[in-house]
Structure 1
Amino acid sequence: MAGAFVGGAALGAAFGELLKVVEDVAIKAVYFKSIVKRIESILNQITPTIEEIKNLNRVLDRSEKETAMFTDQLRDAKRLVRSCAKVKWWNYCAKPCYSNRLLDFEESLVRFFQIEVQAMQLRDGMKILMQVNEVGSKLDRIGTMGGSFRPIGFVGCCGVPGVPEFVVGFDEPLRELKMQILNEGEQVVVLSAPGGCGKTTLAKMLCRDEEIEGTFDMNENLEFDMFKDNIFFVTFSKSPNLKVIIEKMFQHKDYPVPEFQTEEDAINQLESLLKRIGPTPMLLVLDDVWSGSEFLTEKFKFQISKYKILVTSRSVFPRFSTYKLKLLKDQDAMDLFCHSAFPQHGRSSIPKDLVSKIMRRCGGFPLALKVVGRSLYGEPEVIWKNRLKPWSEAQSILYSNNELLICLQPSLDALDGMYKIKECFLDLASFPEDQRIPVTALMDMWVELYNLDEDGEDAIAILHQLSNRNLVNLVLTRKDASETNGYYNEHFVMQHDLLRDLAIHQSDQNPIEHRKRLIVDIVANDLPRWWIDQREHPVHARLVSISTGVLILSI
């Protein structure tokens, strides 16, 4: 296939320009029509090959020196065809000359693809065969080093993805998480945080940590760094397919993949594989495990020495040891935001207080800091002020950043099918941001709205469910406060601003007159537009919150 070995962007561009001119002249020209038509037919036949040449060479980053001469011929041919179109009917001397030149080009076009391209293919095929033989020889040499080594498959089946080149604020979390992983008593550790906090990034950093690689990499003394086959990195997702996951683990170790009859058979085969690898230390990372899938995590637990499992999740799984990743501190958040907004390490003319205000609206979420910062890169001060204005008017940051919404929305989607829990989460947005919400107030409200038990146990259970999903933080103002005595005066709830924005965004999807909750943030004397437009329309909300920045009225 010629496209794999020759050509490039310059050849593709020259070919496309020539084809366009030939098609135009074939329609309009009176003379040379038969020759131009034949050239057009040849060009149309080789168009797919030229496109493949262009695409593959972009991927392979191949040199265009070999086809430079032919590229120049295509450009000369374009000028020739254009000149032919300009030959007048009375110019009998020019017609034979241009006809011969067109015939010469037609012949060179056919010769290039029939002879030169095939020679290039043969030569490049021999080069590839030679390189494959060299790789095979190296693998054979490695295989003679003794021990239980087996050559691994290509990196990618369950290989550790790359870490972003700029990461801040994760030194301490990495150290603490590493201590939990290396703790002899813990086989499963859950790394938990809301979406957009950097759980996957921290997990990748852990896998690439020198101490962890030295512990879990049986091949650390080999010549090639690619032989790191005792760390499996698997994306679990919302609907995991256990058979596919286990197939990838077999492929990662370059073992033949058995034909699994059932999921139970796949799990049994995996256990046998891991026992063959042992007693060498092994680390399995299950990334993005959803709430409700923790029972699947149990299936990957085996009584194997030095076998560890790291789970990343938006939720907390009480049955496992958990490490909660915190949001970035202000200085780290500022460093990350400025790296995205000012890659050249300069703030230009943007005032520091304006930068600080926008950074704080991102709430310490790494994803929010990167997305918002990137969106403001290179923008003048007026755009920065314009971006801050709607947020100052109580509009959510999610309205102007769809990527953030996409990241956080699954946390809310995970509550589908749990009607009361989801409704209670949405109710929390009725309270002002950055304030502690008394649990007793929530109990009174939810008893009325959802017919919960008046003793408060149902409400507390719901709050624990939300806390386990990192959607709220439960706060005790006294260390000796207890739930066992039925008194909850010392219990409070706090919700992060972005999660509150998510709840408000969800509630705002319906028309005003059909909303269950009406959340009104009044800034100065400015009333929301819908307030004025809807004066004569009834509002049927069951929960109304009006904030003026000082006084909160809940109805």
Structure 2
Amino acid sequence: MAVAFVGGALLGAVFGELLRAVSEAKDKAVMFKDLLEQLESTLQNSTPMIKEIEKLNQVLDLPKHETDTLIEMMRRGEHLVHKCSRVKWNCFKRYDYAKKIIKLDRSIDTFFRTYIPLQQTRDNRVIMVDLKEVHMMVKRLSGNDRTSWMFNQVGVAGACSAPDPPPVTPGLDVPLKELKLELFKDGRQVIVVSAPGGYGKTTLVKKLCKDDQVLGKFKDNIFFVTVSQTPNVKGIVQKVFQHKGYAVPEFQTDEDAINDLERLLKPIRPEAILLVLDDVWSGSESLLQKFKFQLPYYKILVTSRSVFPQFGSGYDLKPLNDEAARTLFRYSANLQDGNSYIPDENLVNKILRACKGCPLALTVVGGSLCGKHPAIWQKRVKEWTQDVSVFHSNKEILSCLERSLDALNNEVKECYMDLCSFPEDQRIPITALVDMWMELYELVDELFAIANLHELSNLNLANCVATRKYASDDSCYNDHFVMQHDLLRELAIYQSTLEPIKQRKRLIIDTSGNNFPEWWMDQKQHPLNASLLSISTDENFSSNWYDMEAPEVKVVALNIRAKKYTLPNFLEKMDKLKVMIVTNYGFFPAELSNIRVFGALSNLKRIRLEHVSLPSMTTVRMKHLQKVSLVMCNVGQVVGNSTFHFSDAFPNLLEIDIDYCNDLMELPDGLCDIVSIKKLRITNCHKLSILPEGIGKLVNLQMLTLASCTDLSALPDTIGNLSNLNFLDISECLNIQELPEQIGELCSLKTLCLKGCSIFEPPSSILNLENLEVVKCDEETAYQWEYFQLGQAKFRIEVIQEDINLYWLHNPHL
């Protein structure tokens, strides 16, 4: 998150003290002279910008905590430099301090160069000075001066950054040049790129946004937003506020949102601005008109399956030519691999003619034939070429894609169909899919669910994205997601509707406001036979439900956009329900009510809640619940209730997964009474500062993950009681500086993950861990663990490289 970490008079003073200390020490500490000169150079290069940002921050009155990270780093650095001056001939200290100086230099350089680019930060401060009055106005619109209208008090810079295009994009070089010419012309504000679904419109625009000339003109003022079938004006504007690193206002109307967007963009001039509206549907002319402002050098680039003639002649993206189509198909079918079957070129030509230059069809068909026997190639080609006009329209493209699903076995095909349970253009958490598939298909191990997902990915029917990588075990997929092309989702929905309502395996319901489908209100259609029920509602839904009888349902996915949401009473009648998934895609956490229905679900085994506020659950009892996942939830009312008995409410719980729950400051003691727990994952909970001593009571715990809990300062001594713990991950727990001596009592521990921790002196009891197989750490601390290896310890050291990417910024909630 692009928070203003630098600023304030204290920062300047500490920075100056460190620079003076380095300058004085480099001549005294001759053994470290080269390293200290490099550190001095890094600091001097940052000095001019530090001074300028300081001046601007005095105007903005930025909070003190935003400078603490850098200040603390520099204070420790000054202390280290003084210690270096006193080192004589102690070889171990020389080696130790040299490593620390290198780490300090890298940390300061990375802080400015990678995480908070100084030039961008300075420019943002200038804009923030101009917009301070706008922010006060937005506060007044909220009706009070409190910060409750904000989400996490600040926005997320980069939330509208354009995604990277695929690695291979044949045939788009000429369209890219032509589109750039259109974009750089004066006079035209709105440019529409149109083509049928699957023709590569979004890929072309992604490529455009990464082009050097385009970046040179628009710099960091490129806003990429996916619109989809049901546009949300307030949501689009909120994303732009996020992108620029500002607090996200809560708008009352679309008009308020548009007015504030114009106020946000005006101070950016005279710099050029590019707003990309991806996947705009037919009938959205009024939406595009709203985003037109009288600003110089302001462009709107639209991708759509439709043309919008009132905005002038658009850019019509054509199918791929023969050469580009052949290149894409061969890449998708992996024909460039010498070990792959190289078919008769005549077969390839027939497939290319059938695909009609449609990139999506070429990619999916190529993936479905990759590595297959020649007989399968011949059979498929015969099927695909029976109708020479198979790709003349979207419906015909869908027909071709349907045939490509024949390569899937029944279970994998069913998994593919389940992907349409989630909204269009949203990332699907892999953990949610695993929960669904484990119960729908009675899988004996989660690995089978992951294998099905990889098979879909290998056939280009889904794209897997890892937003972050921790030094964690391979079974943790908290930061892994699936994306699916709109056309492939439409195919799954289309196939789901081929059977009569009462006989469908999955019911996919997408409502606008309170407009329910007619069959739902027709009691003759009940009871229903579906095993999967997905209901998507928008911000205008009033939570007034019609009744439903669906006794066979095993999985319910509720996709919501609301500040308040009432769970439907008809859930109580679903006796076979095993998985409940509630995901809020709005900007602010949804307040859940009617939570008592959870207690009525006698067979519920897995529950996943995302971006909701949990009310008090004192009356809820779920005796068969085995796994609970809370992502970006407000959990204060539950964990802070001293009268709530967790062991009574969840007596058979096996897994707890808590991620990005910002109001979780300490783990309640009551959780430690659920002795059945085997896996406890708490990740990215940055306010979690303490673990209860009672954690030692979790004698069946096998996995404990505390990754990126940056305020956590220590592990309790009672951790030594966890005799069955085989996996411990405290990666990126920046405040943990030492391990308790009792860690040597973890007799079953096999894997220890410490990447990003400042533990330079492990306890000697580590040598007692006879079953320890691997220690995962970073380069700066690896040498300390190598010392223990010399002490005959059997474990191996795995150095984890820094993983820096911005995929996580595309999460609409962060």
More helix by share: 1
- Short-chain TM bin: 0.3 to 0.5
Q: Whose radius of gyration is greater, 1 or 2?
A: 1
Identify which of structures 1 and 2 has the higher relative contact order when contacts are C-alpha pairs closer than 8 Å and 6+ apart: 1
The normalised TM-score by structure 1 is: 0.46
The normalised TM-score by structure 2 is: 0.32
